[in-house]
Amino acid sequence: MAKRETGPEPGSDTTEQKIFDAAHEVFSQKGMDGSTMQEIADRAGINKALLHYYYRSKDKLYEMVARAILTKAVSAVRGVLEVEMPLEEKIRRFIETYIGIISRNTSIPLFIISEINKHPDRFFSNILPQDLPKPHAFFQQVEAEIAAGRIRPIKPQHLIVHIISMCVFPFVGKPLMAVLLGMNPGEMKTFLKERTEEVTQFVLAGLRP
C-alpha cells in the first residue's frame, strides 16, 4: 500500500509549506466545496500555475491538509489514552490534550461533522487515519476502578462520550453560546480557556463513589 502524504516535513520547501498553511486556513474556514485553488494561491502569495505544479487538484490538496490535521490530533490523543498512568491523571491529561487540540484548531469539530455528512466515503477511506486510538485499555481501567470501589459504577463508553462532548460542544456551538451566555468576544475567549479545568473537575466529581 502506498504511503499517504501527511503534509510538508519540518524544514521542507518554503513554498510548499506556504501552500499547506494557506490551504489549511482556507479549507478550515470554507470547507472543500466553498474553497478555490485561486483563493489558496492568493493566500499563499503565489500564482495559480505554481500551486498546480505542487498539487494538481484541489481534491488532492484538500485530502493532504485534512489528513495532516487529523493525524496530529489522533496521535496526541493516542499518546494519552493508551499510556499507563492512574485513571485520574489520564482523565486530566486527556481533557487537557483534547481541548488544547481544539483550541489551536477550532475548525476541527465542524470540519469533521461537515465532511462525514457531505463526503462520508472519502472521509473514512482517504482522510481519517487508520490507526485510531484503541479505547479498550481505558475501558478496562475504568472497570477495574469501579470493582475496587474507587469510582462509582458507570459504563466506560458513556464516560468517554461525556468527556468528549463537554470538550467539543462549546467550540462547535461557540456563536450560540456567546448569545445565550451574553458574552462579548473577550469574555468568550476567557470562558473557553476555563473549560479545561471546569470539565476536569466536573468529570472527576461525578466519578466519586
pTM of the model: 0.77
Domain boundaries, the chain: 8-56, 70-207
Position 11 scores a pLDDT of 43
- Tell me the H-state helices in 31-107: 37-44, 48-54, 58-81, 87-104
Q: Which residues contact 25 (CB under 8 A, 6 or more apart)?
A: 43
Position 37 scores a pLDDT of 94
CATH of the domain spanning 8-56 = 1.10.10.60
183: left (phi over 0), alpha (psi -120 to 50) or beta: beta
**CATH topology for 70-207?**
Tetracycline Repressor; domain 2 (1.10.357)
Kindly state the cell numbers that stand for 89. 491523571
d(CA 175, CA 90): 31
DSSP H or E segment with residue 82? none
Position 2 scores a pLDDT of 36
Compute φ and ψ for 163, nearest 5 degrees. -60, -50
d(CA 35, CA 38): 9
Which is nearest to 51 in space by CA: 85, 27, 16? 16
Question: Could you state, in chain order, the average pLDDT of each consecutive group of 10 residues for the chain (209 residues)?
Answer: 45 79 85 87 94 89 84 88 93 93 79 83 86 91 97 97 93 86 90 93 96
